[in-house]
Amino acid sequence: MYSRRSRKPRIVLGILGAVLLLLIGVWFGGHPSWLPSPLRSAFVSNNDDPLVNQVIGLLQKNYYRPLNRNQLVNKGLAGMVASLGDPYSHYYDPTDYQGFLNESNPHLSGIGVDVQATTRGLLVDDVFPGSPAAKAGLTRGDVIVAVGPKSLASRPASFGSTLIKGKAGTKVTLTILRGSHKQMVTMVRRDIVVPVASGTIVTYHGVKLGALVLTQFVDGAGAELRIQVEKVLHEGAKGLILDLRENPGGLLNEAVNVASIFIPDGTIVSTAGRAQPRQVYVARGGAIPTSIPMVVLVDRGTASAAEIVTGALHDRGRAKVVGTHTYGKGVFQEIEPLPNGGALDFTVGEYFTPSGHNLGGGGVKEGAGIAPDIYAPAKPGAKTDTALTVAEQTVAAEVR
């Protein structure tokens, strides 16, 4: 029988030995190359697929021309995601992911225009106030047919936009087509904060209305829109039009923030996914009075988070929907950055409007979207925005 005193040195030695073994394990775990191969696996967990590594190794070693391992991995990952048949899921290699982040960043170096591709070039949809484009006299309806010597005819919008963007302080020369007249304009690029929300006062038969435009649901979009709502109400607006046409959506959290400007309480949207339980998102408070009538203006380009807001306002009886059917996207994605600098943007669940309706066509298929209460298509080439006129008429009729 041992006394407590006689056991103490052994306990201390045991503890010191355990700590020493732990430190050795940590060291070799971080420096596996120091270990003999039979012992390496004891300290290092190798999660790489041996078959994939074998194929890449064979290709790199024996293919008739040299191959870049990173390129093989990137193309393999892209092909893996493409095999899902999901138009909303993508693998971004490091270069593409950086480009995606730049597109999502409202701080850009350029000339301050919103454009869309046509067979002739880039059609100017909007010119940001105070931008280089505005100071140079560009207006909605102009067509940018060339950047420097390079024609933009039948080119994708990304081609022309990449040429137009550049370092702040540098010059860019554009050839502009206005009607049948061409002119060359040189501008100096500068840092521009792209507005995602705007609000103006329009008058319909003597009734002041606030015309609100939200272009996308980026970080802070809800706060920007709230500022515009408060501005037009302060200027005397008696009714509101929320224009979500051509809004491709964005962050789910911002959709809840936007809907909460107009809905005081209750459900905004619910979500469900295979790896996450059903979650209900409710209004966050601080809504404007529900006595202020409003209309949501939508079209085929209204999608994702924009449809969430439209569905919430419609199902909760807060607004009438004017325009055409929305896109019909019933799923949402998450972006997971990867160790190689790339990212995986993939579908993780479905969302449902307050009435429990999913707007998609089942899974990632395109659905019917939201049917408008009042059908009002925009007429291409018309001098006036006919759909906006119908929205003004609709909301003005509800002003008391």
Tell me the pLDDT tens digit for each residue of 365-389: 988 899 999 999 987 666 788 999 9
Higher per-residue confidence, 288 vs 106: 288
Residues 273, 276, 278, 281, CA torsion sign: negative
Q: Does residue 293 surpass a pLDDT of 50?
A: yes
DSSP state of 56: H
Q: Which of 64-78, 111-125, 251-265, 316-330 has the lowest mean pLDDT?
A: 111-125
User: What mean pLDDT is predicted for residues 288-310?
Assistant: 96
Other Cβ atoms within 10 Å of 211 Cβ, number: 21
107-193 CATH fold: Pdz3 Domain (2.30.42)
User: Nearest CA to 350 among 92, 90, 86, 82?
Assistant: 86
197-396 CATH, one of 3.40.50.150, 3.90.226.10, 3.30.413.10, 3.40.50.11900: 3.90.226.10
CA atoms of 222 and 244, how far apart (whole Å): 13
Mean pLDDT calculated for residue range 355-374: 92
Q: What distance separates the 2 farthest-apart alpha carbons in the chain? A: 108
The full set of domain ranges for the chain reads 107-193, 197-396
**CA neighbor of 167 nearest in space, from 192, 143, 184, 186:** 192
Higher pLDDT, 358 or 39: 358
For residues 18-36, average pLDDT:
47
The DSSP secondary-structure symbol of 23 reads H
Residue-wise pLDDT for 174-225, tens only, equals 999 998 899 999 999 998 877 789 999 999 999 999 999 999 998 899 999 9
Going by pLDDT thresholds of 50, 70 and 90, the confidence category of residue 48 is: low
- Provide the annotated active-site residues: 304, 315, 329
Mean pLDDT of 241-270: 96
**Structure tokens, 377:** 């298509």
pLDDT at site 108:
58
Cα separation values, 206 from 242, 287, 371, 387, Å = 20, 26, 30, 19
Q: What is the pTM of this model?
A: 0.72
